[in-house]
Amino acid sequence: MNFLFQKLDINLQNILGNLNQDVRTLELPHFEEYFADVNIKTINNLLYKKYKIDYFPNNVNLTKISPPGVGVHTDAFNVTINVYLNARNSVTTFYRELSEDSSTIITKKNTKGEFQIKVYDEEKLEVISRIKTKPGEILLFNSSVPHSVAIPPSEPDRLIFRITWDSKYSYQDIYNNFNKISS
Ligand SMILES: [Fe+2]
């Protein structure tokens, strides 16, 4: 298995028509989140139809990252479906921690309350994988592994529609749920 990401084959075209950037829920340097007016139940029905999952995501948002991108971090949730809307030349890099003191916990606040992310000292990490995502691509993404995003200065802001699970679930839980062998 791939412990970092898995390509998913779901058609969200009809659902994503109404995305806009009217209501910002989080603003950090080069990183913003927006309220997405998308019904999570419709998405869960689609996921169940295709993958028969039992653990359902409970949140969606539109994420915008602007050049030059964001440094190494882990998100407030462990697992997300990333729908890359316009990412052409941006690169996501995954890292392995070389020492236990490589990260700092930071508390942030969005419209729903406080949450914690970790930021990492790049000198105490080793690159394990790099991916370039294409527009329209959909990945089940392990956001509990340290990762960074680099966007060339000539690129437009990178928009991702994100479908996230509560942090009580690990990537492994959700990956196994997507890949369980039906008997
Ligand atoms: Fe992230």
Residues with CB under 5 A from ligand 1 (ion): 75
pLDDT value at residue 183: 44
- Ligand 1 midpoint to CA 79 (Å): 10
Half-sphere exposure of 120 (CA within 13 A, CB side): 26
Give the integer Cα–Cα distance in Å for 162 and 57.
Answer: 10
Please give the distance, rounded to the nearest whole angstrom, from the Cα atom of residue 165 to the centre of ligand 1: 14
Tell me the CA–centroid distance for residue 171 and ligand 1, in Å.
14
Q: Distance from the CA of 31 to the center of ligand 1, in angstroms?
A: 10
Predicted pLDDT of residue 95: 98
Ligand 1 centroid from CA 77, angstroms: 9
pLDDT along the chain (183 residues), means of 10: 89 86 91 93 96 96 96 96 91 97 92 90 97 94 97 94 96 95 56
Class of domain 5-12+25-178: mainly beta
Distance of CA 18 from the midpoint of ligand 1 (Å): 23
pLDDT at 1: 54
73 CA to centre of ligand 1 in angstroms: 6
Ligand 1 midpoint to CA 145 (Å): 9
User: What's the rounded Cα separation, in Å, for the pair 79 and 143?
Assistant: 5
pLDDT (0 to 100) of residue 149: 97
Q: Please, are residues 94 and 146 in contact by the beta-carbon 8 Å criterion?
A: yes
- Per the CB < 8 A criterion, the answer to whether 43 and 60 are in contact is yes
Find the 78 Cα to ligand 1 centroid distance in Å.
10
Backbone φ, ψ for residue 89 (5° rounding)? -120, 15
The per-residue pLDDT for 182 is 55
Distance CA 123, CA 164 (A): 29
Residue 50 Cα, ligand 1 centroid: separation in angstroms?
A: 26
